[in-house]
Amino acid sequence: MIAELGLAALWLAAALAALQLVAGFLAVRQNAPVGEGELALLVRPAAVVQGVLCAFAFAMLIWLFARTDLSVKLVAMNSHSMKPLVFKIAGAWGNHEGSMLLWVTVMSAAGALIALIERRLPERTMQATLAAQGFVALGFYAFLLFSSNPFERLPVPALEGNGLNPLLQDIGLAFHPPTLYLGYVGLSVAFSFAVGALLTRSVTPDFARAMRPWVLGAWIFLTVGITAGSYWAYYELGWGGWWFWDPVENASLMPWLAATALLHSASVLAARDALRAWTIMLGVVAFSMSMVGTFLVRSGILTSVHAFAVDPERGAFILILLAIYIGGALAVFGLRASTISEGERFALVSREGALVVNNVLLSAILGVVLLGTLYPLLTEAMGVRVSVGPPYFDPASAIFALPMLLVMAAGPLLRWRRDRLQRVGSPLLLAGLVALAGLVVASAWASPGLLPLLGLALGAGLAVASLLPLRGRNLRRLPLATLGMVVAHFGIAVALIGMASDSAFSEERLAALKVGDTAAVGPWKVTLQAVSPVAGPNWNALEGVMAASYAGGEPVLLTPQARTFWAPPQETTESALDTRWNGQLYAVLGKAADGERWQVRLWWKPFVTLIWFGGLLIALGGVLALLGRVAGDLKRRAIRRKGAARRAEVAA
Per residue in 77-126, pLDDT (tens digit) is 888 887 788 888 888 888 888 888 998 999 999 999 999 988 888 888 99
Strands 569-574 and 561-566: antiparallel
- Judge whether 600 lies within some domain: yes
Q: Provide the phi-psi class of 302: left if phi over 0, else alpha when psi is between -120 and 50, else beta.
A: beta
- Judge whether 543 lies within some domain: yes
Residue at 563: amino acid letter: R
pLDDT of residue 311: 59
Residue at 617: amino acid letter: L
pLDDT of residue 520: 95
Overall size of the chain counted in residues? 652
Instruction: Give the Cα separation of 497 and 499 in Å (integer).
Output: 6
Crossing angle of helices 43-66 and 2-28, rounded to 10°? 160
Contact criterion met (CB below 8 Å) for 340 and 276: yes
**Per-residue three-class SS string for 421-442:** HHHHHHHHHHHHHHHHHHHHHH
Burial class for 7, CB neighbours closer than 10 Å (0-12, 13-18, 19+): buried
Contact criterion met (CB below 8 Å) for 462 and 496: yes
Residue at 548: amino acid letter: A
Instruction: Give the Cα separation of 85 and 537 in Å (integer).
Output: 11
Structural domains counted in the chain: 2
Q: Please, where are the H alpha helices in 468-609? A: 480-505
- Judge whether 629 lies within some domain: no
Instruction: Give the Cα separation of 459 and 464 in Å (integer).
Output: 9
Residue at 468: amino acid letter: L
Q: From 587, 606, 625, give the residue that closes a domain.
A: 606
- Judge whether 150 lies within some domain: yes
- CA Rg, the chain, in Å? 27
Q: From 102, 128, 163, give the residue that closes a domain.
A: 163
Q: Which of 287, 293, 284 lies closest to 185, judged by CA? A: 287
Q: pTM for this one?
A: 0.91
Instruction: Give the Cα separation of 308 and 99 in Å (integer).
Output: 9
Instruction: Give the Cα separation of 428 and 461 in Å (integer).
Output: 9
Q: Which of 105, 126, 244 lies closest to 184, judged by CA? A: 105
Instruction: Give the Cα separation of 206 and 240 in Å (integer).
Output: 47
Instruction: Give the Cα separation of 320 and 472 in Å (integer).
Output: 55
List CB contacts of 12: < 8 A, sequence separation 6 or more.
53
pLDDT of residue 65: 93
- Other C-beta atoms closer than 10 Å to the C-beta of 56 total 17
pLDDT of residue 536: 81
DSSP E strands, 165-238:
none
List the 583-592 sheet strands across, edge first. Answer: 507-513, 598-606, 583-592, 576-580
In sequence order, the β-bridge partners of residue 562 are: 542, 573
Instruction: Give the Cα separation of 298 and 315 in Å (integer).
Output: 6
Instruction: Give the Cα separation of 402 and 423 in Å (integer).
Output: 23
- Judge whether 641 lies within some domain: no
- Other C-beta atoms closer than 10 Å to the C-beta of 33 total 10
Burial class for 60, CB neighbours closer than 10 Å (0-12, 13-18, 19+): buried
Q: Which of 629, 642, 644, 646 lies closest to 266, judged by CA? A: 629
Give pLDDT < 70 ranges for the chain.
30-37, 167-168, 172-174, 298-313, 567, 644, 651-652
Per residue in 124-179, pLDDT (tens digit) is 899 999 999 999 999 999 999 998 899 999 988 888 878 777 766 777 666 777 88
- Judge whether 253 lies within some domain: no
- Judge whether 522 lies within some domain: yes
Residue at 586: amino acid letter: Y
Burial class for 615, CB neighbours closer than 10 Å (0-12, 13-18, 19+): buried
Residue 81 is classified by DSSP as: T
- Judge whether 173 lies within some domain: no
**What residue numbers bound the domain in which 579 lies?**
507-606
Give the angle subtended at the CA of 145 by the CAs of 139 and 147, to the nearest 5°: 85
Residue 72 is classified by DSSP as: B
Q: How many helices (H) and strands (E) does the chain have?
A: 18, 10
In sequence order, the β-bridge partners of residue 510 are: 601
Cα 474 off chain centre by: 34
The four Cα atoms 15, 19, 25, 27 give a dihedral, to 10 degrees, of: -170
In sequence order, the β-bridge partners of residue 569 are: 566
Tell me the three state secondary structure of residue 221: helix
In sequence order, the β-bridge partners of residue 57 are: none
Residue 203 is classified by DSSP as: -
Residue 356 is classified by DSSP as: H
Which run of H or E residues covers position 585? strand 583-592
Per-residue CA distances from 357 to 215, 344, 353, 405, 412 (Å): 20, 17, 6, 11, 13
Instruction: Give the Cα separation of 510 and 13 in Å (integer).
Output: 56
Tell me the three state secondary structure of residue 545: strand
> Residue 602 phi/psi, 5° resolution?
-125, 140
Residue 515 is classified by DSSP as: T
Which run of H or E residues covers position 549? strand 539-550
Contact criterion met (CB below 8 Å) for 386 and 302: no
Q: From 108, 129, 163, give the residue that closes a domain.
A: 163
Residue at 286: amino acid letter: A
